[in-house]
Amino acid sequence: MDHLSEPELASVAALLSDERLGTFERFTGSRRSAIALHQAMLRLAASLMTVTAVVEIALRNAVCAQLTDHFQTPDWLRMPPAPFQWDNELKAKILQADASARKTAYAKMNLDERQQLDRRAFCGGIAPHGLAYEHILRARQEVVSVSMGQLVVQLTPYFWKRLFSTSYEHTLWRPALKHVFPDKSVSRALVASHLEALYQTRNRIAHHEPVYGHRLQQAEAAIDFIARCLWRGDIKGATPLEKLLQAEMTELRTRAESANRILAMRVPPARPH
């Protein structure tokens, strides 16, 4: 941060807030170094988010493929075959995602396409006279058809990690999801712990909170585990997912080292006299 003058440094500090910089300043002992650490942490978070996004997409698609095969139906989210049932929490998540998917699809329609929905939304194909627009909008969105793919992308990482929870040990993990991580030494609990670490990391990044130390180690371990074990099969050496992420993982480690160098210069707390 040597390129910032003292007045500029003060302006930047005001923009970032004393409260936010206080955490970093306790590490570095100076405002200038605190801002440098803040920026290093944001660059690290950007790299983490890139890698995490790829891992989440890969996991989501692997799970979808496996459960489509297991349930023998493409619409296993909305209409899972008996006797399987979603618990109330995930059922609500699916309904919420379905509503979001229909809302998104409606937003992409032109005026003519939207008006054509009235044929299915209203008796006689015409909205009742005087009906408020918000009610027309809701009725139209309720009859929008969305594909399984459109629904899947609306489901959050929380949903996918919950599929590996204790609740679904016997109904999903043993008959189906174990095949997503075919190594016999991999347990459901191990997968769940790594997914939880990624989930917590993602949340911290989304709220612009720093990820370092033990949290960073957990995140890197989770990424390495999924890239190495997801659909591994009989692959010798690096998996396709590991190879895909080589450049991004190199950048992630470089930025982690940069942040760690600044953290290594941490100023010890003053001892009371």
Dist. CA 49–CA 57, nearest whole Å: 12
- Residue 250 domain-assigned (yes or no): no
* Residue among 133, 192, 140 at smallest CA distance from 162: 192
What's the pLDDT at 235?
A: 76
- Residue 136 domain-assigned (yes or no): yes
For the ranges 19-33, 47-61, 246-260, which has the lowest average pLDDT?
A: 19-33
What's the pLDDT at 98?
A: 97
**Per-residue confidence band for 268, with pLDDT thresholds at 50, 70 and 90:** low
For the ranges 64-73, 81-90, 121-130, 172-181, which has the lowest average pLDDT?
A: 121-130
Confidence check: pLDDT of 42 > 90 = yes
Average pLDDT over residues 256-263: 89
More confident: 233 or 85: 85
- Residue 114 domain-assigned (yes or no): yes
What region does 130 belong to: left with phi over 0, alpha with psi -120 to 50, or beta?
A: left
Dist. CA 99–CA 87, nearest whole Å: 19
**DSSP secondary structure code for residue 266 in this structure:** P
- Residue 63 domain-assigned (yes or no): no
- Residue 259 domain-assigned (yes or no): no
Instruction: Please name the amino acid found at residue 158.
Output: Y
What's the pLDDT at 195?
A: 98
Q: In this prediction, what percent of the chain has a pLDDT beyond 70?
A: 97
Confidence check: pLDDT of 262 > 90 = no
The tens digit of pLDDT for each residue in 84-130 reads 999 999 999 999 999 999 999 999 999 999 999 999 999 989 989 99
Q: 20 is written with which tokens?
A: 């936010």
Average pLDDT over residues 75-87: 97
- Residue 32 domain-assigned (yes or no): no
What's the pLDDT at 267?
A: 61
- Residue 142 domain-assigned (yes or no): yes
Range of the domain at 106: 87-147
Dist. CA 201–CA 49, nearest whole Å: 9
pTM of the model: 0.88
* Residue among 58, 88, 73, 85 at smallest CA distance from 170: 85
- Residue 98 domain-assigned (yes or no): yes
Average pLDDT over residues 156-170: 98
What domain count does the chain have?
1
**Within a 13 Å sphere around the CA of 110, how many CA atoms are in the beta-carbon half?**
1
Please say whether the beta carbons of 155 and 59 come within 8 A: no
